Amino acid sequence: MDWIETLINGALLGALYGLLGLGLALVFGVMRVVNLAHGEFIVLAAFGGTTLASLAPSVNPLLWILPVALLAFGVGYLLQATLVNRTVRSGDPLIPLLLTFGVGVVLRNLMVEVFGTDPRALDGGAFTQAGIEFLGLRVGVFPITVLFLAAAMFGGLQWLLAHTEWGRIVRATSDNARIVRLMGVRPDRVYNTVMGLALAFAAVAGMLLALRSSFNPYSGVERLLVAFEVVILGGLGSFWGAFAGGIMLGIAQLLGQKFDSNAAALYAHLLFFVILVIRPTGLAGRAS
């Protein structure tokens, strides 16, 4: 039963990992841009949550998730409109890569200057500590909530892209930005909204992660690494593949923790490496 409980908790952790990569997968899938500042935006959202929680300690931190996500959407929209769009037009994928790398370095140092380097965390109260017993297994209520929230966000995004006019515009822009201009669509505005959504997803993931573990301004690199592994494991352009990839990483990490508590994350990275060697296109990627 102990092993079954570990598998379940690993899958629940993996749902959060999948959410870490959702925004990264969206930006790459639409714009072919690798956002190297993705991890810093996740951590920045977590700091935003702790700041709001300190200003209103009587309010449950879970209630700050939506305001932080909306603020992140605005930041992403402005970032894309003012900086990233200029590099996307060049057609050289290296230029936006270098730009987002620079943005990440600036954000990291700003967070050190403003918030310091001491680890922080969000206290979700009794909700994050509560658990339920089922057939001799104990599972946390908060991780189950994260699983359903992540599934809803993945499913919601997939539905938007597949069944709405906005989704059709996004897919058409991703396929050929020059052609959609002939139809009166402005690709820059589409990219602005996509980046806003991506950072909103990153903000939700950052808030949830802050409720689960501590963080500091240098935690963005670790978050970015997990997000990259999730996206590549799932297969570039596959959202549900990324969700499955995150669950696999979470299970590998907790199983590894049972073998060696000092190297739990190593087993997740090893799983990523092995799958990448066996199937370079990822779980849901198309073989060339």
pLDDT in tens, 132-174: 877 777 788 888 999 999 999 999 999 999 999 999 999 999 9
Do 226 and 17 form a contact (C-beta atoms < 8 A)?
Answer: yes
Asked whether residue 60 is domain-assigned, the answer is: yes
For residues 80 and 190, give the distance between their C-alpha atoms in angstroms, rounded to a whole number. 10
Domain that holds residue 189: 2-218
The pLDDT value recorded for residue 119 is 93
Asked whether residue 281 is domain-assigned, the answer is: no
Asked whether residue 230 is domain-assigned, the answer is: no
- Which has more pLDDT, 236 or 198? 198
pLDDT (mean) for 126-134: 79
Domain count, the chain: 1
- Which has more pLDDT, 283 or 151? 151
The pLDDT value recorded for residue 1 is 60
For residues 92 and 40, give the distance between their C-alpha atoms in angstroms, rounded to a whole number. 23
Average pLDDT, the chain: 89
- Which has more pLDDT, 56 or 109? 109
Asked whether residue 248 is domain-assigned, the answer is: no
The pLDDT value recorded for residue 165 is 94
Asked whether residue 16 is domain-assigned, the answer is: yes
The pLDDT value recorded for residue 288 is 45
The pLDDT value recorded for residue 138 is 77
Burial class (CB in 10 A: 0-12, 13-18, 19+), 281: middle
pLDDT in tens, 176-215: 988 999 888 999 999 999 999 999 999 999 999 999 889 9
Q: Which helix (H) or strand (E) holds 102?
A: helix 94-115
Asked whether residue 255 is domain-assigned, the answer is: no
Asked whether residue 17 is domain-assigned, the answer is: yes
Distances (CA, A) of 109 to 5, 117, 126, 169: 40, 10, 34, 37
Asked whether residue 243 is domain-assigned, the answer is: no
pTM of the model: 0.91
Whether the pLDDT of residue 287 is over 90: the answer is no
Whether the pLDDT of residue 126 is over 60: the answer is yes
Distances (CA, A) of 170 to 32, 66, 72, 210, 281: 13, 24, 20, 31, 23
The pLDDT value recorded for residue 97 is 93
* Share of residues in the chain with pLDDT > 70 (%): 97
- Which has more pLDDT, 47 or 236? 47
Full DSSP string of 143-196: HHHHHHHHHHHHHHHHHHHHHSHHHHHHHHHHH-HHHHHHTT--HHHHHHHHHH
For residues 27 and 11, give the distance between their C-alpha atoms in angstroms, rounded to a whole number. 25
For residues 243 and 241, give the distance between their C-alpha atoms in angstroms, rounded to a whole number. 5
Q: How confident is the model at residue 103 (pLDDT cuts 50, 70, 90)?
A: very high
Whether the pLDDT of residue 3 is over 80: the answer is no
pLDDT (mean) for 36-58: 93
The pLDDT value recorded for residue 286 is 55
pLDDT (mean) for 282-286: 67
